[in-house]
Structure 1
Amino acid sequence: MVKVTYRIVQHEDGWAYKVGDVFSETFPSHDGALAAAKLAAAEQRVPGETTGIEYETADGKWHEELEAGDDRPETEVEDDA
């Protein structure tokens, strides 16, 4: 299972959360960034609908698969402050 970590960090003139190398918008307060990260992490775990997908591989072949909507990552929020 994939694990996604949201890290609370100082960013620009405020605070943000960071996933990998990507920053969220900047929040004026640490608490605002923490609340936004907790909300984003919770929403990431919500199952979606099962749906069909199509994709082309590097060799030019097309594939069709049924993608289960309950395949969601584990999430956590890290806050060193």
Structure 2
Amino acid sequence: MWLVVDCVSVLFLIKNYTYIYIYIYIYIYTYIHTHIHTYIYIYIYIYIYIYIYIYTYIHTHTYIPISTYIPKMLDYLMLK
């Protein structure tokens, strides 16, 4: 499953620059608040987002906007 997610995430990163912006935004946000460089966390969040996106699309045939997940991801990251 993770291999599929890896392949899909690479394709999304190539096709869609939104994920790069998300990466930069979360990276800067976490560095300002925690002074920790978060490389691995970002990829985990991207995988989670893509997994939820694909899962919901398969089951409901509706697209989820990216903006609904970014605040939740940041809140979760800050609670850790």
Is TM (by shorter chain) over 0.5?
no
Relative contact order, CA 8 A, sep 6+: which one is greater? 1
The structure carrying a bigger strand percent of its residues is 1
Q: Which has the higher helix share?
A: 2
The structure that has the greater radius of gyration is 1
TM-score when normalising by structure 2 = 0.31
